[in-house]
Amino acid sequence: MRDVAIVGVSQTKFGELWEKSFRDLVVEAGIDAIRDANMNGEDIDAMYIGNMTGGLFVGQEHIGSLIAEHSGLTPIPATRVEAACASGGLALRQAIMAVASGYYDRVMAAGVEKMTDVVDATPAIAAAADREWEAQQGVTFPSLYAMMAKRHMYEYGTTREQIAGFAVLGHKNGALNPKAQFQREISVDAVLNSTKVASPLNILDCSPVSDGAAAIIVCPADKAHKYTDTPIYIRASTQASATISLHNRKSLTTIPSTIFAAKKAYDMANLTPKDMDMAEVHDCFSINGLIAIEDLGFFEKGKGGQAIEDGLIERDGDIAVNPSGGLKARGHPLGATGIVQAAEITWQLRQEAGKRQVSDATSGITLNIGGTGGTAAIHILSVDRK
């Protein structure tokens, strides 16, 4: 196996982007990533594109071909990868494995979703849950995560304010991110008093419905200096699955696919949670951010709420979590999220993150989750500082 490095990254602005189509978004992200890698389009050997449900949101399938055509990159192989909200993380993993195996040299991993063209996004998002046993019974994602929140509060005494604190942190960081959907701070009171969605979760606990795309270029680590002065090394790329339905889990307060993928990732990188300077975690709902910082081993199970309250995951805390604003404030165009998480860690490690820069970081981890954890994808990235 060859070591792999990231040499180009990009993201479009995330938000309600009425003026841009699905194809505009992904082509814009792809071109910017190719430019960032100091490459030309013809240098790319293959593309993997994370997209959850172009079919339900914009009536478009056969995404690989569409994007190859509109980026002018035919006839290179273009493959769509789908694993609900983890589609981007898995697309990146496919790109990394293609380079690691020696099959290709320069591969693009992209992710895209255009969610705001439908009147109601909820039925399309619910397709990521168990259709027969959950979605069809009216149990959509806010209510699934609401059950996890209630159980966490019951088992560990986690307070409603602590859960809200994760959303407050996202907006605090997102306010410094010019590409974020929401660039304004919110307070715990604002979260607690916002419109109820599924008790105990309110609208300000939820990631929004978003349009956006992101792209990453990977190549063999020993060739990376040809394209960039600051390659970002892939130290681990792992994936795990768990039951798609929540009722078949032993516990509602942990996501077993995260635990499994995280253990593999730390082993692969020969690093521990304590070695991580920052993390981009999957806070599709505030409770999921809280569960993530426990499942990734940053804090003991049940102590995540206290860590949030004590400011331990702020940019200058023990570990900087979601310096980009996370899914909550940066936005969550489903297929793009796993890609933009790794792009954010790359900008941070290159020290190109502007006002939201985390100081002295040399390593970071991403956690991208599909559904309520039916799929988890984890990447650990690092930089060599001379």
Indicate whether 197 belongs to the interface with ligand COA (CB under 6 A).
yes
Beta carbons within 10 angstroms of residue 383's beta carbon: 20
Indicate whether 106 belongs to the interface with ligand COA (CB under 6 A).
no
Pick 46 or 168: Cβ nearer ligand COA: 168
Indicate whether 166 belongs to the interface with ligand COA (CB under 6 A).
no
Near ligand COA by CB under 6 A: residue from 4, 67, 78, 85 = 85
Spatial separation of the C-alpha atoms in residues 66 and 180, rounded to whole Å? 26
Number of chain residues interacting with ligand COA (CB under 6 A): 15
Shortest Å, Cβ 125 to ligand COA: 5
> SS3 for 99-142, per residue?
HHCCCCCCEEEEEEEECCCCCCCHHHHHCCCCCCCCHHHCCCHH
Only one of the segments 205-213, 270-278, 317-325, 346-354 lies at the binding site for ligand COA (rule: CB under 6 A); that segment is 205-213
Indicate whether 375 belongs to the interface with ligand COA (CB under 6 A).
no
Shortest Å, Cβ 177 to ligand COA: 15
Pick 140 or 238: Cβ nearer ligand COA: 140
Indicate whether 122 belongs to the interface with ligand COA (CB under 6 A).
yes
Quick note: the x/- pattern for ligand COA over 29-48, rule CB under 6 A, is --------------------
Spatial separation of the C-alpha atoms in residues 364 and 321, rounded to whole Å? 10
DSSP one-letter string for 215-275: EEEEEEGGGGGGT-SS-EEEEEEEEEE--SSGGGSS-SSS-HHHHHHHHHHHHHHT--GGG
Residues classed as catalytic: 85, 332
Are the C-beta atoms of 278 and 320 separated by less than 8 Å?
Answer: yes
Beta carbons within 10 angstroms of residue 329's beta carbon: 31
Residues near ligand COA (CB under 6 A) are: 85, 121-122, 125, 141, 182, 197, 203-204, 206-209, 284, 332
